[in-house]
Structure 1
Amino acid sequence: MAHGTESRQAAVRRLGRGLPLRRVLDVTRPKAWADLDEDVRQAVRHGAPAPSHGWLTGVHGPGWRGAWDRAADRMREEPAEARLALALCDPDGRIRQAALPYAAGRPEVLPLVAVRAADWVRPVRARALALLREALPAASHETLAVTAPVILRLGGRLRGGDAVELLDGLLRDGPPARVTALLLGCRDAATRRAALGVALDRKLYDGLGLALVAAGDHDPLVQERAASAAVAAGEPDATAPVLLGSRFGRVRAAGVTALRGAGRHAEAEPYLHDRSGRPRACARWVVRQGGGDPVALYRAACAAPDPPARAPLGLGECGTRSADAPLLRELTGHPEGPVRASAVAGLRLLDAVEPARMKALLDDPEPAVVREARRALRPWSV
C-alpha cells in the first residue's frame, strides 16, 4: 500500500516537472486517470507547491493587474500537456472550468475531460460534457480506446451517468467500426464487455465473427457471452473449429456443444480427455446425446497400454467407486507421471482414497502426483 501511494505521488511530481502523460501513468488503465485526479488535488491540499495557472483566462482578479494578465493570456501559446493536466485536476473548480476550453482538440487529455464530466461542480460538468459531445464522434480509435474506459469506470459515480449515455449513443448510432475498435483493440475488459453488448444488439457479427471474438479475448465474461452467441447463431461448420481451437476451456466447451447442434457427436470424443473440466463435461453430454456411453469410453481408454493423461480423471468424474476404483488404483503405478496424477485425482473424486497408498505417493518424482496426493490426504490431516 505504501509503495502504491509513493508511486502515485511520484507520478504527480513527474507531471509537475513537465513530463507528458504517457511517461507519468499507464494511459490504458482507467483507474490511473481517476487516481491522478485525486492525487493532484490531495497533493495541493496537503502542502505541495500549487501549480502556476497564470496562463488561464477567466480566473484573474479584478483591477489593472487582472486586466494586464488577461491581455497577456491572449498572447500566450497553448499550454503544455502536463500544465493542462494539472489544471484539469486542480482542487479549485474555477481553475478546472477555465482549463477545459484549452482541452479542445487535445486528444491526449480527453480522458481527463471524461473525469471532469463526472465533476461535482455543475458548470465544470456541463462544459466537460459539451467537449465530449464535440470530441468523441471525431476521435481516433486509439483515443476512444483510452477515453471510453474512463467514462465507463466513472459511470458508477453520482454524476457519471450522462457521459455513459453519451458514449452508449455514440456506439449504438455511430459507425460499426467504432464498436469493433473497442471490442478488439481496447485493453479494458469492462469496455470490451460493453462493446460486445452493443455489437450483439446491433447484430454486427455473424457466428464466425463471434467465435473469433470468444477465442481471442482474455476476459471470461466476453468469452462466455461471445461463445454462447456463436453457438446460438447456428453455424456449427464455421464456428466449431474456431471454438475448439481456443486455448480457453470455456470456449472449447462451447465448441463441443456446437458439435451436438451439427449432429457430429462422435467428434466430441477426443474432448473427453480435455485438459479443462468444462469441455470434458460437455463432451460427455454430447456423446450421450449421440447414443454413446462416455463411461465405457473412459474405461476402455484407461485399460489401454498408453492411456490419455486425463482419462483416469474423466473416469473419476463420471464412473462409480465399486466398478472403477480398482482400475484407477492400478494406474497410480503407471510409468507416466501425468497418468499417475490423473489416477490419484480420479480416486479422490470417487471417494476411494486409501491413505497408505497416498502417503507412499508423497515421495513420487512427479510434482503433479505429489500435489494430488496431498490434496487427497487433506481429510486425514485434520
Structure 2
Amino acid sequence: MAHGESRKAAVRRLGRGLPLYRVLDVTRPKGWAHLDEDVRLTVRYGALAPAHGWLTGAHGPGWRGLWERAADRVRETPTEAQLALALCDPDGRIRHAALAYAAGRPEVLPLVVVRAADWVQPVRARALALLREALPAASHETLAVTAPVILRLARRLRGGAAAELLDGLLRGGDGARVNALLFGCRDGVTRRAALAVALDRGLYDGLGLALVAADDHDPVVQERAASAAVAAGAPDATVPVLLGSRFGRVRAAGVTALRGAGRHAEAEPYLYDRSGRTRACARWVVRQGGGDPVTLYRAACAGAEVPARAPLGLGECGSRAVDAALLRELTRHREGRVRASAVAGLRLLDAVEPARMEALLGDPEPAVVREARRALWPWRV
C-alpha cells in the first residue's frame, strides 16, 4: 500500500509541474515504466486532467485543432512536466504529437524509450527515429539514466529495437561510453551489458578488469571481470587488486590466481578469510602447493593468538573425532568472535552438545548467541 501511495504521489507532483528529478528516482529504470503506467491510468479514470493547450497551436484550445493539423508543428515549448504528462497520455495521438517536442530534451529521453516500445505503431516509429538521433549525441550522464530503461524494456514485446540501437552504439562508438556506463551507472544490468561489450571489444587489460571486479557491487560483474582479469595474466598487477577487494568472490578469484602464478604459500592467510568461498579457494591452493590446511588450522587454533575464523575453517575441513575437543575448548576463549567461530565449527562437524549451547545463550557476545541458537535448531520442537 505504501509503495502504491508513493506512485500516486509521484503523479500528483508531476501534475503540479515539478520536474522529473523531483518526481521519481531517475536512476531506477522501473520508475519510468511505473510513471508511464500511473499517469495513463490516472488520466483515464479522471483523477488527473492535464492541460495540453500547448499542443493545439493556432487552432485554439481543445483537441479538435490537434487532429486537424500536422502533429509536429511546434509552436510552444512545454515545461518538463507538461511534456512528460503528454508522453504518458492514454491517447496515442497525444503521445505521437508530444514526441515532436522531445527532440533536444534529454530529461525526457527515458520516456521516449518507453514510447519506442509503444503498442501504437506510429508512436513507436517516431520514438525510434528520435532515439537514433538522440542517443549518439547524449551525454554520459544522460546515457547512464537512459540505457537502463532501454535494457529493462527490451523484455517487452516491442522493446528490442531500442536495445539494438544501444548495442550498436556501444559496440561501434567511442569506448568512453562503455567506460561511463561501467563505472558511472547505478543499474547492475546495464553494467553487465557494458562489461560484455568491453570484453568483446578488448577495452581493458588485466589490471583494468581487476579494478572493475574489485569495486563493482553486482555479483555477475564481479564474477565475469575477475575471471577475465585472471585469464589475462599479469598476476603481479591483478592479484593484489583482487585480494584487496571487499567482496569475497573477488578475493576468491585472487586466491585462485595465486596457484597459476606458483605462489601457493601466499594463500595461507586467506584460510582465515571472512568469506567461506575465499577460505575454500585458499584450502585448494594450499593443497596444490603440497600443504595441509587441516594441520594449519589446528596449529592456528592451538596458538596464543587465534585468528577469528580459524575454528570455523577447522570445522569446514576437520574431523569430529580429532577436532571437536579443541573447538569445545575455544567456546571459552576470551575473544567473542573466536567463541562464535568455534560454535559454528562444532555445528559443521555435527559435534554440538545441547547443554553447552544452552549455556552459551547467555554469552555477552551477540554473535555467539546467534551461532548457539543456530546450532540448537535441530533440537527445537
What TM-score do the two structures reach when normalised by structure 1? Answer: 0.95
- 2:324 aligned partner: 325
Q: Is the 8 A contact 1:59 1:94 kept in 2?
A: no
What is the rounded CA distance, in whole Å, between the counterparts of 2:303 and 2:112 in structure 1? 65
Contact kept, 8 Å, 1:257 with 1:286, in 2: the verdict is yes
Question: In the superposition, relative to structure 1, how do residues 337 and 107 fare at CA in structure 2: closer, same or farther (>3 Å)?
Answer: same
Asked whether the 8 Å contact 1:114–1:132 carries over to 2, the reply is: yes
Change (3 A) 1:60 1:232: farther
1:283 is the counterpart of 2:277: no
Distance change (3 Å), C-alpha of 1:75 and 1:298: closer
Retained in 2: the 8 A contact 1:81–1:109?
A: yes
Once the two structures are superposed, residues 67-113 of structure 1 have per-residue CA deviations (whole angstroms, 9 ceiling, x without a partner) of 9x969x97843111110010000000000000101000110000000
Residue 159 of structure 1 aligns to a residue whose secondary structure is: coil
Q: 1:310 is aligned with what amino acid?
A: R
Partner Cα separation in structure 1 for residue 321 and residue 65 of structure 2:
92
Letter in 1 for 2:207: L
Partner of 2:148, secondary structure, is: helix
Q: 2:19–2:81: 8 Å Cα contact kept in structure 1?
A: yes
Give the aligned partner of residue 185 of structure 2. 186
The answer to whether 1:108 aligns with 2:107 is yes
Q: CA offsets per residue over residues 204-237 of structure 1, 9 Å max, x none?
A: 1111000100111111111111111111111211
State the shift of 1:336 in Å: 1.2
1:161 alignment counterpart: 160
Cα distance change on mapping 1:111 and 1:77 into 2, 3 Å: same
Shift of 1:315: 0.4
Per the alignment, residue 45 of structure 1 pairs with 44
Match of 1:365 in 2: 364
* Kept after mapping to 2: 8 A contact 1:114/1:163: yes
Name the CA shift for 1:177/1:259 in 2 (closer, same or farther; >3 Å).
Answer: same
1:17 maps to 16
Q: Residues 344-370 of structure 1: CA distance to partner in whole angstroms, max 9, x if unpaired?
A: 100100001111111111111111111
TM-superposed deviation, 1:66: 3.2
Partner of 1:213: 212
1:373 match: secondary structure = helix
2:315 aligns with 316
Q: How does 1:249-260 map onto structure 2 within 5 Å?
A: 249-260=248-259
| Match status 1:175 vs 2:174 | yes
Measured after TM superposition, the shift of residue 49 of structure 1 is: 3.5
Which residue does the alignment assign to 1:30? 29
Quick check: 2:83–2:101 contact (8 Å CA) kept in 1?
yes
Asked whether the equivalents of residues 234 and 261 of structure 1 are also in contact (C-alpha less than 8 Å), the reply is no
The DSSP-based 3-state class of the residue aligned with 2:254 is helix
Paired letter, 2:9: A
Larger displacement relative to structure 2 (172-181 or 46-55):
46-55
Count of paired positions: 378
- SS of the equivalent of 1:120 reads coil
AA partner of residue 140 (structure 1): S
CA contact (8 A) 1:171 1:178 kept: yes
The C-alpha deviation readout for 1:310-333, integer Å capped at 9, x for no partner, is: 100000000011111111111111
Listed as ranges, the gaps of 5+ residues in structure 1 are: none
Could you tell me how far apart the structure 1 residues matched to 2:58 and 2:186 are? 38
Distance 2:303 2:58 in 1: 83
Mapping of 1:83-94 within 5 angstroms? 83-94=82-93
Q: Name the residue aligned to 1:356.
A: 355
Whether 1:202 and 2:201 are equivalent positions in the alignment is yes
**Offset at residue 263 of structure 1 (A):** 0.7
Q: 3-state SS of the aligned residue for 2:118? A: coil
Report the CA distance between 1:60 and its aligned residue.
6.7
Residue identity in the other structure for 2:186? R
* Matched residue SS, 1:34: helix
**Equivalent residues of 2:74, 2:100 under 8 A apart:** no
Contact preservation (8 Å) 2:212, 2:222: yes
Instruction: Specify the code of the residue in structure 2 equivalent to 1:209.
Output: G
Secondary structure at 2:18 match in 1: coil
Equivalent residues in 2 for 1:299-310 (5 A)?
299-310=298-309
Aligned counterparts of 2:194 and 2:273: Cα–Cα separation in 1: 31
1:239 matched residue in structure 2: 238
Decide whether the 8 Å contact of 1:40 with 1:89 is kept in 2.
Answer: yes
Report the secondary structure of 1:125's partner residue: helix
Q: Which moved more, 1:76-85 or 1:121-130?
A: 76-85
Partner of 2:264: 265
Aligned to 1:125: 124
Tell me the distance in 2 between the aligned counterparts of 1:288 and 1:59: 82
1:89-141: CA deviation from partner (whole Å, max 9, x where unpaired): 00000000001010001100000000000000000000000000000001000
The amino acid of 1:21's aligned partner reads L
- Summarize the alignment of residues 64-83 of structure 1 with structure 2, pairs less than 5 Å apart: 66=65, 76-83=75-82
Distance 1:60 1:153, change over 3 A: farther
Identity rate, percent = 84
Q: Matched residue of 1:102: which SS? A: coil
CA contact (8 A) 1:57 1:98 kept: no
Indicate if the aligned counterparts of 1:341 and 1:372 stay in contact, CA closer than 8 A. yes
1:7 aligned partner: 6
Q: Is the 8 A contact 2:57 2:75 kept in 1?
A: no
Q: Give the AA of the match of 2:81.
A: A
Q: How much has 1:381 moved relative to structure 2?
A: 0.7
